[in-house]
């Protein structure tokens, strides 16, 4: 691999936003390692991007499995030499009222959403500190700003991600490492296809990926999109609880 080529690693690469990001990264000339559980879907993605400027490789792994993730990241590092961009995108959503959610389901959700990000970043941070460069990106959600009915555990996992990314940003800025927290609103994917509640300002997954790529290029610390959702989220963050509790029922 040429020294001037950039390498990206993306979790949740086999579908949805992760798949769209892998495609757009390859289009921009990144060499991309896609991580996901489904070998078949990863193989289909690899075939689909074969004609693009960037090279694509994949590793089948469960992001909730810490040792397996460490091995997968080391495999990617061995193949490419170093990693410039890491995108923690893998995530699951478990809808349901807090009083009815089992501890086991909540644990699994945190293992994928929050610990999946930790399992990706932890093997990379020491090397990035040593090289004094690198970019860590977490795909969070607008749900990470305030609690949302029927999404209690999901919102909590995203709030944990957002807080952790903010801490990383502060700690690693002087080491030459960029940390970005990306908070999408609603976009079309299998996680939203059967959602009965309203989804204001819904956008395509390709457009969502384009927003993420723009944030990466700008090395933005935190981005909320699309713009109407960003504005709404900022406003909701300042509302007193009595008013927020009424408005959130319509989100």
Distance CA 159, CA 179 (A): 16
Is 154 catalytic? The answer is yes
CB of 42 closer than 8 Å to CB of 34: yes
Q: Please report how many Cα atoms fall inside a 13 Å half-sphere around the Cα of residue 33, on the Cβ side.
A: 26
Q: Which of 207, 218, 191 is nearest to 12 (CA)?
A: 191
Q: Which of 30, 80, 145, 154 is catalytic?
A: 154
CB of 149 closer than 8 Å to CB of 97: yes
Which residues are the active-site residues? 154
């Amino acid at each position: 691999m040429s020294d001037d080529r950039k390498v990206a690693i993306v979790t949740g690469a086999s579908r949805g936003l992760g798949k769209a990001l892998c495609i757009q990264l390859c289009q921009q000339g990144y060499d991309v390692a896609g991580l996901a559980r489904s070998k078949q879907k990863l193989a289909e993605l690899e075939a689909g991007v074969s004609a693009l400027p960037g090279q694509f490789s994949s590793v089948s792994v469960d992001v909730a499995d810490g040792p397996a993730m460490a091995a997968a990241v080391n495999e990617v590092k061995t193949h490419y030499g170093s990693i410039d961009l890491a995108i923690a995108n893998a995530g699951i959503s478990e809808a349901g009222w807090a009083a009815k959610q089992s501890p086991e389901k909540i644990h699994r959700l945190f293992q994928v959403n929050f610990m999946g990000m930790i399992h990706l970043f932890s093997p990379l941070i020491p090397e990035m500190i040593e090289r004094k460069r690198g970019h860590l990106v977490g795909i969070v959600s607008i749900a990470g700003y305030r609690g949302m009915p029927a999404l209690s555990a999901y919102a909590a996992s995203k709030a944990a991600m957002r807080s952790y990314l903010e801490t990383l940003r502060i700690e690693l800025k002087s080491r030459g490492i960029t940390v970005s927290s990306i908070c999408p609103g609603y976009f079309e994917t299998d996680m939203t296809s059967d959602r009965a509640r309203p989804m204001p300002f819904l956008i395509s997954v390709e457009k969502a990926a384009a927003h993420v790529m723009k944030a990466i290029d700008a090395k933005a610390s935190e981005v909320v999109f699309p713009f109407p959702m960003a504005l709404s989220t900022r406003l909701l963050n300042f509302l007193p609880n009595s008013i927020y509790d009424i408005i959130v029922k319509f989100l």
